[in-house]
Structure 1
Amino acid sequence: MQHYCSNCDIYTKQQYCPLCKNKLSEKAGDNEYYPVYETKVKRRRFAQRLVLFIAIFAISTSILINLLINSERLWFLYVLGPALYGLLTINHTILSRAHTGSKVILQVIALSVTLFILDAASGSSKWSIHYVIPFLVTIATLFVTIIVLRKPMKWREYIGYLSTMVILGFLPVLLFLSSWSTVLWPSAATALYALLTLIGMVLFSEKTMKNEIVRRFHF
C-alpha cells in the first residue's frame, strides 16, 4: 500500500515521509514516488545525450570534410578541442551534480588540453605550455583555497581536491625540465604558489587536518 504526504505531494511505501518526516496516511494511487525528481533526471540525461550527439556529429563531420578537401592540413583540430571542452563543460560542469572540487580540476585539465590542441593546430608556438596552463593551475588552486577558507567546516570534502591542485602546480616545472617548455618564470611561479599553499595548509590548519595532509603527502 502506498502512503501519501499532503505536505510534499509525493507517494512512498514508507510510513514516514522521506522529506518532511511526517507520519503518512495510506492512499492508493498511480503516481510515481518522486515524479518531479524523476522528470528532472530524465530531462538532464536527455540533455547530456543530446550534447554528446552534437559533439560527435561536429567532430566526425569536420574530420570528413578535412580529409576530403585538404588532408595535408589538420584544421579539424580547431573543432575537436572546443567540441570536447564544450561537451565536458555542459555535461559535467553544468548538468551533473558532481562535487565542485571535481568540476574545478576537470575544467583545468580539459581547458589545458583544449588550448594545447589549438596551440598545436596553429603552429605549435607553445604559448599554451609557456604561459596559459601555469596561469590556469594557479587560478584554480586559488579558487579552491578560497572555498576552503570560506567554508572551513567542509575542508574534509575539499582537502583531496586541493591536494590534487598542489600536485598539478608542480607539473609546469616538470614540463620545463623535460624541455617541453622553455620559459621558466611562469612554471616557477606556479610551483612556488603550490608550495606556499601546501605550507599554509600545514601551518594554519587544525590538528585533524594536519594529520590528513601528512597522511596524503607522506611527510
Structure 2
Amino acid sequence: MQHYCSNCNTYTKQQYCPLCKQKLSKKTGDNEYYPIYETRVKRRRFAQRLVLFIAIFTVSTSLLINLLTNPEQLWFLYVLSPVLYSLLTINHTILSRAHIGSKVVLQVIALSVMLFILDAASGSSKWSIHYVIPFLVTLATLLVTIIVLRKPMKWREYIGYMTTMVILGFLPVILFLSSWSTVLWPSAATALYALLTLIGMVLFSEKTMKNEIVRRFHF
C-alpha cells in the first residue's frame, strides 16, 4: 500500500512525503503517480524561468533606456522594485511549493524593500518607514498567528516563522531610535504587538513548544 500526500499530490511507500517531509496517513493502491508529478514540476520550473527571463529583460531594457535618455535621473528604479517584487510573488509565492510561513515572511520583507526603494526614489519622504512597513509587519504577524490558531497541530512548523515575525516587529523601533524614522506611534504599536505575540506564545503553547520558544529567545 502506498501513502498519499495531498500537499504535493504524490504517492510513496514511506510514511513521510519525500518532498515536503509531512507525515502521511492516507493510502491508496499501487498506482504510480510520480510521472505526473514530474511533468507538473517541469512545467512549474519552465514557468519560473520564463518569469525570471521576462524580469531580467524588463529591468535591463529600462536601465539601458534610462542611461541613454536621462542618466541624471534614475527613473528605472520605479521599474526595478515592482519587477523584483513581482518576480518573488510569482516564483516563490504562487508557483513554489514553499511553506506558507516562508511565503508570508518573504512577502512582507520583499514588499517592505520595494516600498522603501520607491519612497527613496520619489524624494525620500520616509512614508514607507513611518507608516507602511510597521503596518505590514503587524499584519503579517497577525496572519501567521491566525494560521497557527486554526492549525494548532502544526504549531511546531510555524514557530520559526513566528519568531522571525516577532523579531521584525521590533525593527521599526530600532529605525526610530536610529533616527531613520521620526514618527513614534506606528513603531511603538508594532513593537507592542510583537511583544504581546511573544508573551502569548510563551503562555498558551504546550510545554514542548514553550521550551523551544525559551531556548530560541534565551530567556
Q: TM-score range by the shorter chain?
A: 0.7 to 0.9
Asked if 1:135 corresponds to 2:132, the answer is no
What are the residue-to-residue correspondences of 1:31-110 with 2, within 5 Å? 34-110=34-110
Structure ID, larger Rg: 1
Distance 1:33 1:80 in 2: 40
Aligned residue type for 2:180: W
Distance 1:117 1:158 in 2: 29
Q: 1:3 aligns to what?
A: none
Give the superposition deviation at 1:21.
5.5
Cα distance change, pair 115–23 in 1 and its aligned pair in 2 (3 A): closer
Give the superposition deviation at 1:81.
0.3
Give the superposition deviation at 1:59.
0.4
SS in 1 for 2:75: coil
SS in 1 for 2:72: coil
Distance 1:22 1:70 in 2: 65
List, as ranges, runs of 4+ consecutive aligned residues in structure 1 with deviation greater than 6 Å.
Answer: none
Cα distance change, pair 23–53 in 1 and its aligned pair in 2 (3 A): closer
**Equivalences, count:** 197
| Percent of residue pairs identical | 86
Distance 1:119 1:52 in 2: 25
CA-atom RMSD, angstroms? 1.9
Gaps of 5+ in 1: 1-11, 25-31
Aligned residue type for 1:53: F
Gaps of 5+ in 2: 1-10, 18-25
Cα distance change, pair 62–193 in 1 and its aligned pair in 2 (3 A): same
SS in 1 for 2:181: coil
Q: 2:169 aligns to what?
A: 169
Give the superposition deviation at 1:20.
4.7
TM-score normalised over the length of structure 1: 0.86
